[in-house]
Amino acid sequence: MISKSPTLAAVFAIALLLPSAVTARTNHIRNTRSVRTQAPAPAPARAGTFEARVEGLMRQSGYDFRKVKANSWFLIVPGREMAQIRIILGAGPSSIAMGAVVVPKRNLRVTADAMLKLMKLSYELNYVRVCIDTDDDLIVMSQRKDAWLNVEEFKTTVSQVLSAADRAYAAMRPFLAGP
């Protein structure tokens, strides 16, 4: 079992917030027809760091990824139930957290039946958690230690998170608020 590292939890929480904040800001700017200035690109990872190792795994895996800031990235992959899924990655000192927002709080009607479905789904999934984050969004996430990471394990973890996100979305479809 992976210990709950406050650093890793903070990195993942920030990584979850930043991409959605960037999207919200971009949409707001598009709606107001303002000119957006580009934020400076995040600094490249220093050679020999765990951050550089994670970026190397992403390159070797063939996924198109974007760096948000140090130790935080996302990749967008097509889903089966969801058109596309944004998988968010956060690296701690010796492990990574990888997850996806399945349903934002504003779109989820939380009922006893919904929670029962999620608990049963959580039982069926291996190596991926179904949970409600600090923003009350429904997410799926997985954590891996440095010692377990190689290209194949990285690809497998992306696939597991992707599959879990699609399954959770399908299970929650009857409990979505609005269109």
Q: Kindly list the structural domains of the chain, giving each domain's residue range(s) and its CATH number in brackets, ordered by start.
A: 6-175 (3.30.1460.10)
| Pairwise CA distance, residues 169 & 37, whole Å | 35
Amino acid sitting at position 163 = S
Closest by Cα among 133, 165, 134, 157 to 2: 157
- 74 touches 19 (CB < 8 A): yes
Give the pLDDT score at 3.
44
Beta carbons of 75 and 66 less than 8 angstroms apart? yes
Whole-number pLDDT of residue 49: 85
Six-digit token pair at 42? 């995040």
The pair of three-digit structure tokens given for residue 38, joined into one six-digit string: 């580009």
**CA–CA gap between residue 137 and residue 126 (Å, rounded):** 21
Cα separation, 121 vs 166, in Å, equals 11
What crossing angle do the helices spanning 50-61 and 151-172 adopt, rounded to 10°? 70
Do the beta carbons of residue 57 and residue 149 sit within 8 Å? yes
Going by their DSSP bridges, the two strands 138-145 and 65-69 should be labelled as unpaired
Q: What global pTM score does this model have?
A: 0.76
> Of all helices (H) and strands (E), which one includes residue 47?
none
Task: Say if CB 97 and CB 141 are below 8 A apart.
Answer: yes
pLDDT per residue of the chain (179 residues) written in tens, 0 to 9: 444 444 444 444 444 444 443 344 334 333 444 445 566 778 777 788 888 889 999 999 998 899 999 999 999 999 999 999 999 999 988 899 999 999 999 999 999 999 999 999 999 998 999 999 999 999 999 999 988 889 999 999 999 999 999 999 999 999 998 65
Q: What letter would DSSP give residue 174? A: G
